[in-house]
Amino acid sequence: MKFVRASDHSLAAGRDIIVKIDGSDPALIRTIIEQVLAEQSGRPAARIRFHNSNNLKIEDMGEFTSRVSAFNFVQSDENRSKFREYATGYLQKSKNAETVGRLFNGVDQALRKKEFKRAHKLLGRLLNVAGLTDERDDIIENYLLSGYISNANSGDTKGMLALIEEAHQNFFSSINEGIAYLLIEVQQEIATRQNNDNLLLENERLLLDFLSKNSIPSDSSGLLGLLYRRMGERGSITYLQKAEDIFRSILRTRTALTAEEANNFGIALIRDFELTRNPEKLDEALSVLNGIDFKRDDYPLVDYLSLPKAMNNIGNAYKQKLTFTGQPEFYVHAIENYTRAEAYWSEASAPYEWAMIQKNKAETRVAYYDITGHADVLPVADDEVSASLKCRTEASSPFQYQKSMDVKQKIEQALQKADPSHKHSR
C-alpha cells in the first residue's frame, strides 16, 4: 500500500488522497475508511468518493500501474494514521489469508488422519502469523494438546516436560482454565511414566486445588479418577476404590460415561481384581468397557484416543479371566482385542502404546502355555516382549520397563521348561 498527496492531478488535488492497492478489493478498503470515520467523535461525517479503477486512465496516474481507488478523505494526521493502521492491517491479513487457510486446512487434515506431530508443527507455524488475535487462544490450546498427544504416543517424556515449560514461558498470559487443566494432565502423565510417587502426590494437590477454584470441565472429576487409578496401580486398593467411587458418582449425575471415563473405570476394576481376586470386578470391567460404542465416528478427540486403550483393556480383562479360570477360550478373546487396538497404534505412529500391546500379548501367550502346554506360542511371545523393550526403556519408562522385563523373565523360564537346551537371550 502507498499513500500519495498529489497536486497535479485534478482527481487527487486538494483534499484527496490516492491509495495504491495491489491485489485487493477497493470496496473492502472503503469499508475500512468508513469504520475509521465512524470512530471520529465530535467530527462531521466526511464524504467519501469512490472511483472505480475502470473509470481512470492509467496513464493519467503517473507512477501507478495497478488498480487504483481514490477517496475524498478528511485531512488530518490523526485520520491518515488511523486509516494507515486499519488498511495496512487489512492488507496484511489479505496477504496472510492464503497461508493461514493452507495451514488451517493442513491442521484439519492432520488431525483427521491422527498425525498429531504434523498438526503440532503446523499449529506452531500459525502462532507465528500476525493478525490472528481472536483465534490465538484456541490455536495455543490445540498446539499444546497435539504436542502432548504426539509426545505421549512416542514415549517422549522430555518432550512433555518441554511442553509444560514452553507453555509457562511463551503462553503464560493465555493460560486459561482449559489450558491449566491440560497441563495438570500432562504432569500426571509424566509422573506416571517416571514412576514418581512424589510427583503424583503433587499432582493430586494441584488437581484438588484446581477443582476447588474452577468449574470446568464437566468431566473434570474424571481426571481425579484417573489419578487415583494410577496411584492405585502401585498396589493401593484404597486409591483404586477412590477411583471407582468417582466414576460411580459421575454415573449418578449422567446417563453414561464418556469413552475416556469408561476406560479408566474399567482399568481401576481390573486392577482391583488383581489385588482382591474378586471375579465380580472383572465382569463389571467388561460390562463397562463393552458399553463403549466403538462404531461411533464423531467422538471428541479425547474419547477417540480412548478407544484403542479400551480395546487393550478388554484384552486385559480376558487375560485375567484366562489366568483365573484356566479356560483356554479366553486366550482367543484377549488376543483378538489386543489386535483391534493395533489398528489404532502402530510402531511408527505410537511406539509407546504399541509396545504396551506387545507386552500384553506376550504375557497372554505365556499364560496360555502354562494352561495348555502349547509351546509354539512362546517364540512369538519372546519376539513381542523384545519389541516392547525397544520402545519402553528403563530410562524413559522405568515402571513399564520393569513390567516388560517381568514378562521377559517368565518367557525365558517357560522356554527353558519347554526345551531344556534353550539358551537365554540377552
Q: Return the closest-CA partner of residue 410 out of 372, 358, 367, 376.
A: 367
pLDDT at 123 over 50: yes
- What confidence score (pLDDT) does residue 44 get? 39
Using pLDDT thresholds of 50, 70 and 90, give the confidence band for residue 245: very high
Q: Which of 48-57, 72-81, 261-270, 289-298 is predicted with the least confidence, judged by mean pLDDT?
A: 48-57
- What confidence score (pLDDT) does residue 1 get? 36
Burial label, 424 (beta-carbon count in 10 A; 0-12, 13-18, 19+): exposed
Q: Do residues 275 and 238 touch, judged by C-beta distance below 8 A?
A: no
Could you tell me what percent of the chain has a pLDDT over 90? 57
- What confidence score (pLDDT) does residue 189 get? 94
Helix (H) and strand (E) counts in the chain: 17, 3
- What confidence score (pLDDT) does residue 41 get? 43
Q: What is the pLDDT of residues 135-144, one digit of tens each?
A: 888 899 999 9
pLDDT at 325 over 50: yes
pLDDT at 36 over 60: no
Which of 11-25, 174-188, 312-326 is the most confident on average?
Answer: 312-326
How is the beta sheet containing 16-20 ordered, strand by strand?
A: 2-4, 16-20, 68-72
* Prediction pTM value: 0.72
Mean pLDDT for all residues in the chain: 81
Q: What is the pLDDT of residues 59-81, one digit of tens each?
A: 233 322 222 233 333 344 555 55
pLDDT at 26 over 60: no
Would you call 320 helix, strand, or coil by DSSP? helix
DSSP label of 424: P
pLDDT at 301 over 60: yes
pLDDT at 365 over 90: yes
Using pLDDT thresholds of 50, 70 and 90, give the confidence band for residue 133: confident
pLDDT at 147 over 70: yes
The CA distance from 401 to 395, in Å, is: 9
| DSSP per position, 128-194 | TSTT-TTTHHHHHHHHHHHHHHHHHHHT-HHHHHHHHHHHHHHSGGG--HHHHHHHHHHHHHHHHHT
Give the end-to-end CA distance of the chain in Å, rounded to a whole number. Answer: 70
Strand partners, 18: 4, 70
